Structure 1
Amino acid sequence: MCDKKNNVLFTDTGCFVLSLSIKLAYESQVLLKVPRKNNMYSIDMKNIVPKESLTCLVAKATLDESMLWHRRLGHVNFKTINKLVKDNLVKGLPIKHFENDQTCVACLKGKQHKASCKSKIQNSITQPLFMLHMDLFGPTFVSSLMNKKYCLVVTDDYSRFTWVFFLASKDETSGILKSFITQIENLVDKKVKIIRCDNGTEFKNRVMSEFCEKKGIKREFSVARTPQQNGVAERRNRTLIEAARTMLADSKLPTTFWAEAVNTACYVQNRVLVVKPHNKTPYELFRGRTPSLSFMRPFGCHVTILNTLDHLGKFDGKSDDGFFVGYSLNSKAFRVYNIRTRKVEENLHVRFLEDKPIIAGDGPKWLFDIDVLTKSMNYVPVVAGTNSNDFVGTKESIGAGHSSKEPGSSQDYILMPLWKDGSLFDSSSKNASNDEPQPSSDVENKNDEGVRKESGIDNQ
């Protein structure tokens, strides 16, 4: 056929004999050109200059040769070895295609890693509450305002709508889940069919087994020490925690407000995140209507709260200062922290001061007022300066250097525990700071007697 000046094309599906008018459009498309000698097209592998996609034309190396070069090159990946051959990056390496038969035991011992848990491209769940993902994080280092240390996060697989519950201990998980599932099934008029969680004892116990068996709910557990299989719940935990940490840093509120921040983050993200397969918010997918965002305010912003509880006089102030810490789930009200009462309350009569700037050091007064801080910690401040005669005998016995301080020196605060039985300090020691300091000579003569009198030992 070639002697008759025809072009012959061999492909993976067949052989094509082309007419004489067919010619190459671009010379750059030629990857390999071999001359014809003695009715043979011979390829000399030693004299080939590799080009772009020449790997398919290179002869395959035997398995023994592939393993030999794999060991010689420090157990490098076979893709890297073939790339060196394809791009002609080194010398001395045979121009062959090396294959891996997965028989290198040393690589399995030294390089084996966890199996990947790929997410589904298309969700097979078509209705809410068909599958619920849940996880529990905690204990936190700091308790919340309501003395909670754990947070239970429940996420609907279809809508990605999320609920959060705060617990003082893990034992409360079963009771909360039973109440939640019964309530949400009645609200949406659908049944929970599958629960996916980890192997924690808060989910894997007799109470939950009996409840799920009674309701006909299937439970799916992730493999031990494999949180990737519970990826929906784990990613939601990370999103909520990062959002709460950011809001606390922006509002300058202490860490004790972490539960309020997580609750607010969950409330907001249900209305603003977009679920990719449906291009809708979780609120719209679960509730069936578009959410409204006009009433939302920054977490931790200053507010004035109308006092509707106390009986006020004609000229008493009508409002208290506070901080916005979230939204009510049971009514159209805001959750605010009242600085005067030191409690979180739900109130609709709130005036937001969003324009008030938040500067470094600004925030609740109990963070910067030493007297209020010691009172809340059940500690009593003891003045230890030269302008007071408290513990003056003990001070002189320790060293006379303290008596040389100037009268105008600043006060030093010492935090001491407040004893309930047999108070360490009586009322006379607290009022002693208003007396005139005694001369040092009198103190030295009555050292032991002054210590007993000031510390209340004589009374015991």
Structure 2
Amino acid sequence: MGNDFNPELSDKYKLTGSNYINWKQQMRSLLLIRGYYDMVTGQESPDKRAEQEKIEPNRKPIAYAIISLNCDVKIASQFDNKCNLNPTILWTCLEEFYLPKTVQNQATYLRRIFSTPLSEGNLAQGIKKIQELTHNLCSLIDDQAVKPSILLDPIVALWECRIEKRTPSLDETIEEVRSAIQRNKENQEKRAFMTKKKEKSDSKPHQKPNYPTCRRGYHNPLTKHFEAECQNLKLGKPTTALLCGINQQDRDSIIIDSGASNSMFNDEKHFISFIPKEEEVSLTNGSSIKYLGSGTICIELSHCFLKINNCLLIPQLEINLLSMNTFIVANYSVTKEISAKSFVVTSKDGKNIINGSFESGNFVIHQNKIQAFKVSLSTPSTTVLHQLSGHPSLEYFKKMHPNKNISSFNCTTCNLSKMTKIPFKGTFPQPNRKLETIHMDLCGPICPESISGKKYFLRIVNGFSHFVWIFFLTNKSECKDYIKNHINRIGRQAISKVANLISDNGSEFKNSDLQNFFKSKGINHLTSAPYTPEQNPFSERGNRTTVNKSRCLLLDSGLDLTYWAETANTAVYLENLTLHKSLSFETPFSKWFDKKPSLKFLHPFGCEAIYLDNFPKSKFSSRGGAGVFLGYGEGHRMFCILDSETGKVKTTHHVKFNDFVFPNKNQANLNQNTESFVVSGSLDIPNNPQTNCSEIPETPYNLELSPNDQKENDENRNANTDTLWQYKGYSWMTEPVDNSKKITSHLDPANILTNSC
């Protein structure tokens, strides 16, 4: 058992006095592995104890050493004299000292459980905290008949109450469903109407009404009104008196009129439903005009269809009027833009419904008018027509010649000159379990080599969860060993077996060693066709994503290109925490581990990091080391830090980050972007009495002035150099040499304190 067993816990889990319950659980696992737990807790029978002592005579000192090794030094030394290397006594002393099972402690944990908030933002965190507190409470209760779960019933009730408050009522749900059905029905009616309207307009011209009508200047005696009432004969009283200044608009134009009580249109083609009914409507000049009926109109705008009810059909109108009162009643607003040349109609929820222009004092609506531009060529041959057009594609060829009946056309010249890869339609088959398919690809060689001498990286993707693993290689020959180890590892992790492995035809994947391994594992090895990366999209497109993300991290951090392996490792780590569209916006991490990831510990790559130095040079030296953040290490919350002084990479948990400072990037920007102003001249430097030179001649000098944002750093950095005191006006002070020899001192021996230490 023994060579691989590590009896020491990490510093985080060692007993410090406040973490006894968690420490006890960790120690229980360690002692169970070695078979010492029953002996330490006093539950081992005498016969078994005697048998085990014959096999392992030193089991008591070893158990005592394991417990002491995982305690703080002060705690371990506190009980040494009392325990006399007896692990059972040490275990009992620690339990009595750090776990007083009093009612007060039980009440403390129970109060913490009831005071744990369960809000919408931290629901998962609150539940996790309740579980930890419940575990601690159970450890303080000896009576097995008492169940702490009974005490937690009010919390469950409170949680259910909060969930019910967030659930919409039945009436709200029914109203939402009804609104959705109504919107869907209206959209279907609009589409059906527009399709029918288009077919009708294409098949035959607009039909005249089947009832007698009058024309301008002529009265039809078959109509129901008298000749004296015919508005077409009243040429001296124009019916469009309200529309002064819009004669430049055509009959299809629509304006918003604030004086109209109803919307009025001059053509039946605007109506999707119509009820014939002849009545009169009064105008502002005292005259009246007849309308032929009312109904619902539908206006095709650039982004939607606008449907308005209770609109009047008045063929005599020169332009269509849309009543502003219709929008005001519906709580819509008409706003003129700042430029005063356009306006917009917005709904009560702030959406733009109508856009238009402000022309001659009128609000003119912009409609979606489709215009066709024809190009007429007299060449009858389609082939020649295609040649003189410059060999356009079939789609553009049809649009250039809409009057030609071109259903299909095949040009050999275009096929030879424009031949491209055939697109891959559809999607890659979706696996149903974690290890049904894995994709892999090798990228490299990469120049320059990484800081650790790596030239390649092997990227492996799980087809079900899109979870990514990356490995860095010095030579291609290492690829097969990484593949074997990884397949064995993920098989144990997912408690499953790999079914299909997809790669290209590279020799690093197709070799006898790997093929025999695949056969022994029952893995079906699928390869893509040569020069067809589309057949392995998870790896090929994934390599591009990783390289692009790595390039961004390098650019942000300002580090050298030799750190590409660290950025690629960090890029893959972040890809696994990024929402994926093909996973219904879940993360690969959550699909692989069946739990949501935490993003609270993420920090910018290349930022400043201060880590705990476990081996300080002296008692009073700094306890922290400055470095640069190089990504995330293996294990729980481990970070890789590049030590700025030694250049070594440290992997530690104890780090403090400055997310806004990038040491390498700032230095690179300083070297590249600093504007240098060089001033040439001379300075009279005072003589230094400590030198043998009696006179120093004028010396030319250069001063390099940095921008303001670097001035303070430069001054602090060069505070002890000669350059600063020269141009800042510092000078040598005359120092009497002889005075140092004449210094004497008379001390009273009674004033001298002595110490034997």
- The alignment's TM-score, normalised by the length of structure 2, stands at 0.38
- Following superposition, the deviation at residue 348 of structure 1 comes to 1.3
The residue number in structure 2 matching 1:141 is 447
What letter matches 2:413 in structure 1?
A
Of 319, 340, 352 in structure 1, the residue corresponding to residue 624 of structure 2 is: 319
* 8 Å CA contact 1:142, 1:256 repeated in 2: yes
The residue number in structure 2 matching 1:75 is 391
- Following superposition, the deviation at residue 202 of structure 1 comes to 1.0
- Following superposition, the deviation at residue 76 of structure 1 comes to 3.0
Q: 1:241 to 1:291 in 2, by over 3 A?
A: same
Of 626, 629, 633 in structure 2, the residue corresponding to residue 328 of structure 1 is: 633
The 10-residue stretch of structure 1 (322-331 or 158-167) with the greater mean CA deviation from structure 2: 322-331
* 8 Å CA contact 2:611, 2:627 repeated in 1: yes
The residue number in structure 1 matching 2:30 is none
The residue number in structure 2 matching 1:337 is 642
The 10-residue stretch of structure 1 (160-169 or 253-262) with the greater mean CA deviation from structure 2: 253-262
* 8 Å CA contact 1:244, 1:261 repeated in 2: yes
The residue number in structure 2 matching 1:115 is 422
Tell me, in whole angstroms, the C-alpha distance in 2 between the residues paired with 1:311 and 1:337.
17
**SS across alignment from 1:134:** strand
Within a 5 Å distance, the mapping from 1:89-168 to structure 2 comes to 95-100=403-408, 102=410, 104-120=411-427, 123-168=429-474
Tell me, in whole angstroms, the C-alpha distance in 2 between the residues paired with 1:331 and 1:32.
73
What letter matches 2:654 in structure 1?
H
**SS across alignment from 1:81:** helix
- Following superposition, the deviation at residue 84 of structure 1 comes to 2.7
- Following superposition, the deviation at residue 327 of structure 1 comes to 1.1
Of 158, 178, 193 in structure 1, the residue corresponding to residue 499 of structure 2 is: 193
* 8 Å CA contact 2:610, 2:655 repeated in 1: yes
Q: 1:74 to 1:340 in 2, by over 3 A?
A: closer
Tell me, in whole angstroms, the C-alpha distance in 2 between the residues paired with 1:253 and 1:27.
63
* 8 Å CA contact 1:149, 1:168 repeated in 2: yes
* 8 Å CA contact 2:556, 2:665 repeated in 1: no
Tell me, in whole angstroms, the C-alpha distance in 2 between the residues paired with 1:123 and 1:205.
27
* 8 Å CA contact 2:608, 2:663 repeated in 1: no
- The alignment's TM-score, normalised by the length of structure 1, stands at 0.62
Q: 1:118 to 1:25 in 2, by over 3 A?
A: closer
Tell me, in whole angstroms, the C-alpha distance in 2 between the residues paired with 1:184 and 1:241.
24
* 8 Å CA contact 2:611, 2:656 repeated in 1: yes
The 10-residue stretch of structure 1 (259-268 or 220-229) with the greater mean CA deviation from structure 2: 220-229
- Following superposition, the deviation at residue 345 of structure 1 comes to 1.9
Number of aligned positions between the proteins? 315
Larger relative contact order (Cα-Cα within 8 Å, sequence gap ≥ 6): 1
Q: 1:251 to 1:357 in 2, by over 3 A?
A: closer
Q: 1:82 to 1:356 in 2, by over 3 A?
A: closer
Within a 5 Å distance, the mapping from 1:371-410 to structure 2 comes to none
* 8 Å CA contact 1:160, 1:275 repeated in 2: no
Q: Percent identity?
A: 31
Pairwise CA RMSD = 3.4
Tell me, in whole angstroms, the C-alpha distance in 1 between the residues paired with 2:647 and 2:668.
14
- Following superposition, the deviation at residue 77 of structure 1 comes to 2.6
Q: Which runs of 5 or more structure 2 residues have no equivalent in the other structure?
A: 1-194, 206-369, 373-379, 673-697, 703-757
Tell me, in whole angstroms, the C-alpha distance in 2 between the residues paired with 1:359 and 1:265.
19
Tell me, in whole angstroms, the C-alpha distance in 2 between the residues paired with 1:335 and 1:27.
67
Tell me, in whole angstroms, the C-alpha distance in 2 between the residues paired with 1:358 and 1:145.
18
* 8 Å CA contact 2:557, 2:662 repeated in 1: no
Tell me, in whole angstroms, the C-alpha distance in 1 between the residues paired with 2:371 and 2:660.
62
Q: 1:127 to 1:227 in 2, by over 3 A?
A: same
Query: What are the Cα deviations for residues 308-360 of structure 1, in whole angstroms up to 9, with x where unaligned?
Result: 1x353222222221111111123432111112332112111222222436685
The residue number in structure 2 matching 1:31 is 202
Tell me, in whole angstroms, the C-alpha distance in 2 between the residues paired with 1:347 and 1:316.
19
* 8 Å CA contact 1:159, 1:275 repeated in 2: no
- Following superposition, the deviation at residue 124 of structure 1 comes to 2.8
What letter matches 2:618 in structure 1?
G
Tell me, in whole angstroms, the C-alpha distance in 1 between the residues paired with 2:435 and 2:483.
14
What letter matches 1:282 in structure 2?
P
Q: 1:180 to 1:85 in 2, by over 3 A?
A: same
Query: What are the Cα deviations for residues 375-403 of structure 1, in whole angstroms up to 9, with x where unaligned?
Result: xxxxxxxxxxxxxxxxxxxxxxxxxxxxx
The residue number in structure 2 matching 1:387 is none
- Following superposition, the deviation at residue 163 of structure 1 comes to 0.5
Tell me, in whole angstroms, the C-alpha distance in 2 between the residues paired with 1:225 and 1:277.
28
* 8 Å CA contact 2:456, 2:476 repeated in 1: yes
Tell me, in whole angstroms, the C-alpha distance in 2 between the residues paired with 1:119 and 1:341.
53
Query: What are the Cα deviations for residues 59-91 of structure 1, in whole angstroms up to 9, with x where unaligned?
Result: xxxxx95445434544333332322333xxxxx
- Following superposition, the deviation at residue 100 of structure 1 comes to 2.8
Q: 1:315 to 1:225 in 2, by over 3 A?
A: same
Q: Which runs of 5 or more structure 1 residues have no equivalent in the other structure?
A: 1-23, 35-50, 54-63, 87-94, 369-405, 411-460
Mapped pair 1:177 → 2:483: yes
**SS across alignment from 2:625:** strand
Query: What are the Cα deviations for residues 172-219 of structure 1, in whole angstroms up to 9, with x where unaligned?
Result: 111100110011011111111111111111111111111111111112
Mapped pair 1:285 → 2:456: no
Mapped pair 1:251 → 2:557: yes
* 8 Å CA contact 2:557, 2:664 repeated in 1: no
Within a 5 Å distance, the mapping from 1:255-270 to structure 2 comes to 255-270=561-576
**SS across alignment from 1:352:** strand
The residue number in structure 2 matching 1:10 is none
* 8 Å CA contact 1:253, 1:364 repeated in 2: no
Q: 1:317 to 1:115 in 2, by over 3 A?
A: same
Tell me, in whole angstroms, the C-alpha distance in 1 between the residues paired with 2:449 and 2:669.
18
Tell me, in whole angstroms, the C-alpha distance in 2 between the residues paired with 1:363 and 1:319.
25
Tell me, in whole angstroms, the C-alpha distance in 1 between the residues paired with 2:419 and 2:552.
37
**SS across alignment from 1:191:** coil
Mapped pair 1:307 → 2:623: no
The 10-residue stretch of structure 1 (338-347 or 262-271) with the greater mean CA deviation from structure 2: 338-347
What letter matches 1:321 in structure 2?
A
The residue number in structure 1 matching 2:301 is none
Tell me, in whole angstroms, the C-alpha distance in 2 between the residues paired with 1:283 and 1:244.
19
**SS across alignment from 2:407:** coil
**SS across alignment from 1:323:** strand
**SS across alignment from 2:552:** helix
Tell me, in whole angstroms, the C-alpha distance in 2 between the residues paired with 1:295 and 1:218.
39
Tell me, in whole angstroms, the C-alpha distance in 1 between the residues paired with 2:578 and 2:472.
23
What letter matches 1:235 in structure 2?
R
**SS across alignment from 1:224:** coil
Q: 1:325 to 1:177 in 2, by over 3 A?
A: same
